[in-house]
Amino acid sequence: MAYRITFVCTGNICRSPMAEHVVRRRLAEEGLDVEVDSSGTGGWHVGDPADHRTVRTLARHGYTSAHSARQFSPAWFDRYDLIVALDEGHQRELHAMAPSAEAREKVRLLRSFDPQAVDLNVPDPYYGGGADFEECLELIEAAVPGLADEVRKA
């Protein structure tokens, strides 16, 4: 059975779908059997595609971007091996939803997988411009090697 990861941000149109596509490709390139998806803590964008700036940034770097936003459900804690929050606010919300201490332990911050990270938050690029989306991508890519190590250990 494949290892299952979901990335969680606020509306599931910027950071988490970007992380989903980057990590899916990178882990597949390493031959790891992993199912990767994403969701948001809020339901404002359910059914929407990824933000056009996310799509543009992913395409510029050779990643896919097909996406339909969805909201994370507390019932999903049993579905995933790892639930990756994009910032500390998402982590707090996920911890509050978790039905048990075991479920809370599945929640990790993406930047915690980057040994060079000082700030563990991936800033929300939604209200910014292209440079903010590029920075978001860089922070996500920097965490991939550590995340891949975590998957290998599991």
Domain residues for the domain of 145 are 3-153
Q: Tell me the per-residue pLDDT of 17-33, one tens digit each, with 9 for 90 and over.
A: 999 999 999 999 999 99
Q: What is the pLDDT of residues 95-150, one digit of tens each?
A: 999 999 999 999 999 999 999 999 999 999 999 999 999 999 999 999 999 999 99
Domain with residue 69: its CATH number is 3.40.50.2300
pTM metric for this prediction: 0.97
Q: What pLDDT digit, counting tens, does each position of 43-75 carry?
A: 999 999 999 999 999 999 999 999 999 999 999
Active site residues per annotation: 9, 15, 124
Strand, coil or helix: 16: helix
Helix, strand, coil percent content, the chain, rounded in steps of 5: 45, 15, 40
pLDDT of residue 62: 98
Q: Which long-range contacts (CB under 8 A, 24 or more apart) does 60-64 make?
A: 61/137, 63/21, 63/22, 63/25, 64/21, 64/24, 64/25
Provide the number of structural domains found in the chain.
1
pLDDT at res. 116 = 97
Sign of CA dihedral 57, 59, 63, 66: positive
